[in-house]
Structure 1
Amino acid sequence: MGRHSCCLKQRLRKGLWSPEEDEKLFNYITRYGIGCWSSVPKLAGLQRCGKSCRLRWINYLRPDLKRGMFSQQEEDLILSLHQLLGNRYICIYYFADHIYIYI
């Protein structure tokens, strides 16, 4: 698996994100909202591709991102929905108020 074509066009940073980059992305998104991800890096002052910014926001920086263990209530809800819906995890995801379930 290689680099995306957008990353090959310019000299873009690769690898780990610095705390300064996280702060720039977080501040930009909280101020202006989510829009066209391909324009976010330039407008936020980042040397990253749009896909990298999108993935960083979705997987690490979103304020509503829940980390840690499920509560007992969430676990019971997931198990009861699984009994009802089977392995259709996208349905469970929507019924369980968008609880992220990594299998």
Structure 2
Amino acid sequence: MGRHSCCYIQKLRKGLWSPEEDEKLLMHVTKYGHGCWSSVPKQAGLQRCGKSCRLRWINYLRPDLKRGTFSKEEENLIIQLHAALGNRWSQIAAQLPGRTDNEIKNLWNSCLKKKLRQKGIDPVTHKKIPEGENGGEDNGMRKRSQEKAA
């Protein structure tokens, strides 16, 4: 996933956002709404592409965002919803007001999968892992290594 050609042609900024840029985007979207994201940077006086502005707003600047650690109830709800919906992060996020799909996906991949494995539950099928199977991520690596050696 590279950058869009518009980002190279217009010499747009990339990388970290400054507090001044955050303020400009926040003020513009609060006052006028976002409308068409591709037109927002120019209207707000930013040297960014529309996609960058959209992601910054959705994941960091929205006033209804909920910050901080997830509660046990939220973690349990994510596990239940993942069992029903799979990796449909935006549909899961819709059930957790103030949480973003990216934040939920990161929590799943960094913590919740491991917690399920420790409890003896397969994080893909949400079923009990049969006795004798490790269930760890390195288990698949060992199997592949053994297959190559054979």
Q: Residues of 2 paired with 1:94 and 1:15: CA distance?
A: 26
Q: Residues of 2 paired with 1:93 and 1:56: CA distance?
A: 20
Q: 1:26 to 1:91 in 2, by over 3 A?
A: closer
* Dislocated runs of 4+, deviation >6 Å: none
Deviation digits for residues 17-68 of structure 1, max 9, x if unmatched? 1110010001101111121011101110111111111111112111122222
Q: 1:16 to 1:30 in 2, by over 3 A?
A: same
Shift of 1:80: 3.6
Identity among equivalent pairs (%):
66
> What does residue 13 of structure 2 align with?
13
Conservation of the 8 A alpha-carbon contact between 1:37 and 1:53: yes
The structure with the largest alpha-carbon Rg is 2
Q: Residues of 2 paired with 1:3 and 1:81: CA distance?
A: 33
Conservation of the 8 A alpha-carbon contact between 1:82 and 1:92: no
Shift of 1:78: 2.7
Unmatched runs of 5 consecutive residues or more in structure 1? none
Q: Which has the higher contact order (CA 8 A, sep 6+)?
A: 1
Conservation of the 8 A alpha-carbon contact between 1:40 and 1:53: yes
User: SS at the partner of 1:64?
Assistant: coil
Could you tell me the TM-score, scaled by structure 1's length? 0.79
Q: Structure 1 stretch 22-31 or stretch 60-69: which is displaced more?
A: 60-69
**Number of positions where the alignment pairs a residue of Structure 1 with one of Structure 2:** 102
The amino acid of 1:34's aligned partner reads H
Superposed CA RMSD = 2.4
Give the 5 Å matches for 1:21-100.
Answer: 21-83=21-83, 85=84, 87-90=86-89, 93=92, 96-98=95-97, 99=99, 100=101
Conservation of the 8 A alpha-carbon contact between 1:78 and 1:92: no
Q: Residues of 2 paired with 1:31 and 1:88: CA distance?
A: 35
Unmatched runs of 5 consecutive residues or more in structure 2? 110-150
Q: Residues of 2 paired with 1:45 and 1:72: CA distance?
A: 42
Could you tell me the TM-score, scaled by structure 2's length? 0.57
